[in-house]
Structure 1
Amino acid sequence: MNVSLRQLRAFLAVARQQHFRRASESLHLSQPAVSRHIAELEAELGLKLFDRNTREVVPTEAGRYLESAIGRVLDELEGVLAHVHSESERRRGKVHVASVPTLSAGLMPQCIADCAKRYAELTIQLHDQSQTLVLDSVRGGEVDFGLAIDPMTAGEFDSEVILRDPFVVVCRPDHPLARLGRVPWRKLHGQRLVLLDYSSGSRRLIDEALARRGIEVDIVQQTGHTLTAFRMVEAGLGISVSPALSPPPSTLVARPLTPVEHRNIVLLKRRQRSLSPLAALVWERLRALAAEWPAGGTG
C-alpha cells in the first residue's frame, strides 16, 4: 500500500479533533490539504474512515480501529525519528581542543582519527600550545576544553586525570646510562642535561623530583619542544629527562627512571561550565583512549 506519514498524521488529527478546520490548524495545513490527505487514504485503503455532517466528523468503526492502532505507532515513530535527529545533530559540528605539544603529538592524533571514523560529520580543531597557553585558552573560553599536565591550581578548573605519564631518561646508545635497564634518579647527579623550558608543565615536575633528592645537574640547554631536546642529545650535548608519551627517535634510547615519577595528564574545562554534547563526546573518547594507552592509565 502507498500510504504516507502525512496521510496518517492528517487522519489522526481529524479523528482526535472530530473537525477538519481544527485538525488543519493543529497540523498547520490548509483545510483542503487535510481533506485531500483523508480522501487519498480512504481511496488507498478502500474504506470509509469518517461519517461527516455539517456539525462534526465522526470516525466509522474502521476509523476508530485505525485511530486506536495508529496513534500508538505514530507516537513511537515520532520518538524514534526525534532520537535519530538528535543523535545526528549531536555529532555534527566542530570541537576546539587545546593541547600541550607532547600530547598533541601523542594522544590527540589517535583521538582525531578515531572520531573521524566514528563520527564523519564531527571536526576536531586542535590548538597545539604550550601549557601556559592551554590554560589561558580554556580560562578565556577560546576552546571547548584542554588536554594538559595537571596545573595543580585547586578550584580554578574542572579537571579529570585520565593518564599518568612516567618520566624517562633519554640518551645516546653509547652513553653509560644506556646499559642500565632502569636508571636511578641519583645517577643523574652531575650529568649535563637538556630539558624542556618552563613553558612546559613537565619542567616544574622534573625540577621538583631532582630537588627532593638533592640531585645537582648541569642544565646546558632548555627548549620548548622535546624534538629539539632530542636533536641536542643526538649531537652529544647531554642527556634529557622526558615524558614517556614523547618517545625519542630510533637513534636514541629511553630508560625508565626509578623510583617512578610521573606527570598527571588531565582533561580540563572552565569551572562549573557544561560541555556541549559534541565536546562531551570528544572528552569521552579521549578518556577511553587514555585508558587503553600503554603508558599506564590512571591507576
Structure 2
Amino acid sequence: MDFRQIEAFVSVYRLRNFSRAGKALFLTQPTISNHISDLEIELGVKLFDRSSREVMPTDTGDIFYQYAVNLLETRDCAISSLNQHNRQIEGRLEIAASTIPCQYLLPKIMMGFQKINPNIKFLIHQGDTNQVIREIREKKYQVGIVGTRTDEDKLDYEILTRDRLVLIAARDCIEPADRPCIAVEGLLKKQFILRERGSGTREEFETALKKKGIDPDMLKVVAEMNNTEAIKHAVSEGLGVAVVSSLSVGNELKSEAFQAFSIDGLELERSFYLVTYRNRPLSPNVAAFREFILNYYGNNTC
C-alpha cells in the first residue's frame, strides 16, 4: 500500500467517478483504476461497486475511507513538521467552498497565500453550501468557506466578510418607475431564475421572503440552475430575473449587460464564513491557511 493508491481511493470515494478522480489528481483514468485494483488486491476486499453508472463505495469502502483520510493527513503533518525548521508550508491544501466564495473570493486569497508559500498545491472542491457543511461535518475536509451557517455545536464558523444580495434583470425588464429599488410585492409579477436547493444564496433569499410573510413557492420560477455564470447569461437574454451575490456582477454592471436593484423591505445582507469541525486538530497547511485568511479579512470571530 502506498500513498498514491490511498490518494486515488479518497478521490474516487469523494467524486464517485474514476475519470473525475483522475483529473483531480492529474492522472489518467487507467492509472486510477490500477491503483484501486492493486489496493483491493492487497486489502483482500472490494472497495467500490462498479456495476452502476456511478461508482459507489461498498461497506468496507466506507470503513476504510476515514482511515485513508487520516493516513493522508498524518503524512501531510509529518512533511510539514519536518520542514518547520525553515517555516515552510508545502504540499496539498484541500479547501471545500460553496459557489460564490469559490469563484469570487478564493482566487485572490490563493494568490496571496501562494506568494508566501510557493510550494503549496491547492485542491479546491466546489459544492453548494449545504454540501460543504455536510462534508466538514463528515470530516471529508478540514476547512470550508460558505455563505450561510447552520445552528449546531459540532462546527465552528468564523466571519470572513460581508455580502449583499441584489436582484438582476435585463435592461428592458424593469419598469422605469421601479428603479433603483423594487417593491417586494412586485416580485410576484416577475419570472425568476433560482439557484438550486441547498445554495446559500437561495436560502438567504427565501428566508428574507418568509420574514416579510411571502411564501417562496408563490414566485414564478422559470428555471433552477447550479451555476451563477449560467444564471447571469440567462438573465441577460431576458429569460427572467434572479437574486445573486453583488460580488458576482461587477463586470456585467460596468458593461451594462444587465442592471442590479435592491428590494425594498428585504434583509439581503449576509456573511461568508470559514467553517471547521470544532476541536478537530488542523494539519499545519490548513492551520496556516486559516491564520492567513482570518488576518486578510480582519479576524472577526462569531
Shift of 1:87: 5.8
- Selected match of 1:138 from 133, 136, 147: 136
Say whether residues 1:255 and 2:261 are aligned partners.
yes
SS of alignment partner, residue 151 of structure 1: coil
Aligned to 2:145: 147
Say whether residues 1:123 and 2:121 are aligned partners.
yes
Matches within 5 A, 1:174-253: 174-176=172-174, 180-215=179-214, 216-247=218-249, 249=252, 250=255, 251-253=257-259
Separation in 1, partners of 2:260, 2:167? 6
Give the length in aligned residue pairs.
213
Asked if structure 1 preserves the Cα contact closer than 8 Å seen for 2:101 and 2:147, the reply is no
Shift of 1:146: 0.4
**Structure 1 residues 226 and 85: CA distance shift in structure 2, 3 A:** closer
Separation in 1, partners of 2:105, 2:224? 24
1:190-210 superposed Cα distances (whole Å, 9 cap, x missing partner): 221111110312212211212
Separation in 1, partners of 2:291, 2:185? 39
SS of alignment partner, residue 140 of structure 2: coil
CA RMSD of aligned residues (A): 2.8
Q: Which has the larger radius of gyration?
A: 1
Segments of 5+ residues of structure 2 without an aligned counterpart are 1-80
SS of alignment partner, residue 176 of structure 1: coil
Asked if structure 1 preserves the Cα contact closer than 8 Å seen for 2:83 and 2:89, the reply is no
Matches within 5 A, 1:1-299: 86=84, 88-176=86-174, 180-215=179-214, 216-247=218-249, 249=252, 250=255, 251-259=257-265, 260-291=267-298
Separation in 1, partners of 2:244, 2:173? 16
**Structure 1 residues 144 and 100: CA distance shift in structure 2, 3 A:** same
Asked if structure 2 preserves the Cα contact closer than 8 Å seen for 1:291 and 1:298, the reply is no
Letter matched to residue 195 of structure 1: L
Segments of 5+ residues of structure 1 without an aligned counterpart are 1-82
**Structure 1 residues 84 and 98: CA distance shift in structure 2, 3 A:** closer
SS of alignment partner, residue 105 of structure 1: helix
Shift of 1:123: 2.3
Asked if structure 1 preserves the Cα contact closer than 8 Å seen for 2:157 and 2:301, the reply is no
Separation in 2, partners of 1:93, 1:190? 52
Letter matched to residue 198 of structure 1: R
Shift of 1:127: 0.9
Asked if structure 2 preserves the Cα contact closer than 8 Å seen for 1:100 and 1:134, the reply is yes
Separation in 2, partners of 1:84, 1:281? 15
1:186-233 superposed Cα distances (whole Å, 9 cap, x missing partner): 432322111111031221221121222234421111111111211221
